[in-house]
C-alpha cells in the first residue's frame, strides 16, 4: 500500500527532476529499511560490539519511557537498528534568495511544503545545491543524523544517532517521535519547534526519572550560546531586508552583519577555548542566508510551546492544545504563538 501511494505521489509531480528526486528518495528509504534488524536480534548476535549493545539497550529504555511517560506514539519505530555505513542519515539542502531570510519551500503532495530538501547521499545534495547556486540563490547543505517518516514507516535506530551521549540520544528520539505525534502541513517552524520542545522537556523528565536530576553544568550551554550568536545575526538580517533601503545598501549591510558575526564568534570562542574550537568548521564555509536558516526554524517557537505546556495538565492535554493550534489558519496560528511567546518572556524556557 505504501508503495502504491508513492507511485501515485510520483504521478502527481511533474518534471523529470521531480521523478529523479523521488526515485532517489524511494531507493534511499528502501536501502535504509533493508538494513534494519530487530534490536533483539542485534543484541543476541555475539558479533555485536559490547558498547553498541549497551547503547541499544539504553535506547530501548528511552523508547519505552517515550510511550509510557511522555505519551508519544507506541509503535514499532526505533525497535530495529540499521548501520548505514555513513555518518549521516540525510543531507538537507536549504535555499534562500540573496536578500531574504525566507527559505525556498519544497512542496510535495500529502506532506505539504517544507523549508529544506533531503538527500540520501552528499553528492546528490551538493549537485542540487550547485543547480540552485547557478540560478543566483544561496545554499547550505547540512548533515542530518535522523529524520521521521511521520509514521508511514517504522523508523529504525540508526548508527548516525549514536555518535553522541545518552542525553543526546534521548532528546533526539523524543524529537522524532513528536513528529509522529503531530505534524501540520506547510509550517516547518511550527513542526520543528514543537518537536524540539518535546525533545528538551522529555529529556528533563527522563533524567529526573533516572535519578540524575538537573545537570549542574549543562554540556549544551555553550551550544546554546553559539546558536544565539547566529540567531542575533539572523534577526538583524530580517530587519535589514524588510527595510526601505536600496538593494545595494542591503547587500552592503548584509556584508557588515556577517563580518560582525565572525568577529563576535572569535571573541566568544577565545573566552572558552585555547586553539581550535568545535564550531570553527561552521565558519570555514561561506556565510550566507541559507546557512542561517536551520537555526531560526528549529528554535523560533520553543518558548511558546514551553508556555503552552505550563498551561497544560499533562502530556495528552498538551498535545490536544498543540493540535488546536495547528488547526488554526496560518495567520491566526502565528498570532496565537506570538502571544504565548510574549507570555513566556519573563521566564523563557529553552
- The verdict on pTM exceeding 0.75 is yes
From 34-43, 104-113, 210-219, 335-344, the region with the lowest mean pLDDT: 210-219
pLDDT at 333 over 80: yes
Which has more confidence, 291 or 9?
291
- What is the pLDDT averaged over residues 90-108? 94
Q: Is 82 in a helix, a strand, or coil?
A: strand
Residue 162's pLDDT is 96
Residue 216's pLDDT is 57
- What is the pLDDT averaged over residues 96-108? 92
- What is the pLDDT averaged over residues 281-295? 92
Tell me the three cell numbers of residue 159: 548508527
pLDDT at 5 over 70: no
Instruction: Measure the CA angle with vertex 308, ends 304 and 314; round to 5°.
Output: 145
From 37-46, 207-216, 268-277, the region with the lowest mean pLDDT: 207-216
- Give 6's contacts (C-beta < 8 A, 6+ positions apart): 22, 26
Tens digits of per-residue pLDDT, 214-260?
Answer: 665 565 678 889 999 999 999 999 999 999 999 999 999 999 999 99
Please answer whether residues 186 and 113 qualify as being in contact, where contact means their C-beta atoms are separated by less than 8 angstroms.
yes
Our CA dihedral for 180, 182, 185, 190, rounded to 10 degrees, sits at -110
Which has more confidence, 16 or 139?
139
Helix axes 315-327, 302-310, angle to 10 degrees: 130
Residue 345's pLDDT is 78
Cell 557588515: give the residue: 256
Tens digits of per-residue pLDDT, 296-320?
Answer: 778 889 999 999 999 999 999 999 9
130 class by beta-carbon count within 10 Å (0-12 exposed, 13-18 middle, 19+ buried): exposed
Which has more confidence, 292 or 274?
292
pLDDT cut 70: percent of the chain above it = 91
pLDDT at 4 over 80: no
Which has more confidence, 133 or 296?
133
Q: Which one, of 184, 227, 220, 190, lies nearest residue 204 by Cα?
A: 220
Residue 310's pLDDT is 97
- Inter-CA distances, 151 with 87, 176, 181, 184, 287, Å: 24, 10, 9, 14, 35
pLDDT cut 90: percent of the chain above it = 77
Amino acid at each position: 500500500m505504501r508503495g502504491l501511494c508513492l507511485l501515485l505521489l510520483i504521478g502527481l509531480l511533474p518534471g523529470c527532476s521531480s521523478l529523479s528526486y523521488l526515485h532517489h528518495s524511494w531507493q534511499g528509504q528502501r536501502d535504509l529499511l533493508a538494513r534494519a534488524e530487530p534490536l533483539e536480534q542485534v543484541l543476541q548476535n555475539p558479533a555485536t560490539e559490547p558498547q553498541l549493545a549497551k547503547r541499544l539497550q539504553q535506547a530501548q529504555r528511552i523508547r519505552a519511557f517515550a510511550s509510557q511517560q511522555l505519551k508519544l506514539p507506541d509503535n514499532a519505530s526505533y525497535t530495529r537498528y540499521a548501520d548505514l555505513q555513513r555518518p549521516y542519515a540525510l543531507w538537507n539542502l536549504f535555499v534562500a534568495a540573496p536578500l531574504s531570510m525566507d527559505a525556498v519551500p519544497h512542496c510535495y503532495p500529502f506532506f505539504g511544503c517544507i523549508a529544506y530538501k533531503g538527500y540520501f547521499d552528499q553528492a546528490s545534495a551538493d549537485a542540487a545545491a550547485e543547480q540552485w547556486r547557478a540560478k543566483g540563490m544561496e545554499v547550505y547543505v547540512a548533515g542530518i543524523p535522523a529524520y521521521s517518516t511521520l509514521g508511514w514507516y517504522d523508523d529504525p535506530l540508526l548508527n548516525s544517532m549514536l555518535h553522541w551521549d545518552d542525553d543526546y540520544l534521548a532528546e533526539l528520539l523524543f524529537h522524532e517521535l513528536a513528529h509522529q505525534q503531530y505534524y501540520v502541513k506547510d509550517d516547518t517552524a511550527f513542526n520543528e519547534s514543537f518537536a524540539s520542545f518535546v525533545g528538551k522537556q522529555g529529556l528533563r523528565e527522563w533524567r529526573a526519572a533516572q535519578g540524575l536530576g538537573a545537570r549542574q553544568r549543562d554540556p549544551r550551554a555553550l551550544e546554546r550560546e553559539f546558536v544565539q550568536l547566529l540567531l542575533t545575526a539572523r534577526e538583524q538580517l530580517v530587519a535589514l531586508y524588510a527595510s526601505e533601503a536600496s538593494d545595494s545598501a542591503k547587500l552592503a549591510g548584509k556584508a557588515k552583519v556577517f563580518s560582525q558575526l565572525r568577529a563576535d564568534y572569535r571573541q566568544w570562542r577565545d573566552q572558552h577555548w585555547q586553539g581550535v574550537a568545535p564550531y570553527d568548521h561552521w565558519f570555514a564555509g561561506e556565510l550566507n542566508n541559507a546557512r542561517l536558516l536551520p537555526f531560526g526554524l528549529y528554535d523560533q517557537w520553543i518558548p511558546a510551546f514551553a508556555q503552552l505546556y505550563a498551561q497544560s495538565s499533562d502530556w495528552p492535554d498538551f498535545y490536544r492544545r498543540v493540535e488546536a493550534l495547528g488547526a488554526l489558519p496560518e495567520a491566526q496560528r502565528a498570532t496565537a504563538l506570538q502571544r504565548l511567546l510574549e507570555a513566556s518572556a519573563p521566564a523563557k524556557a529553552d
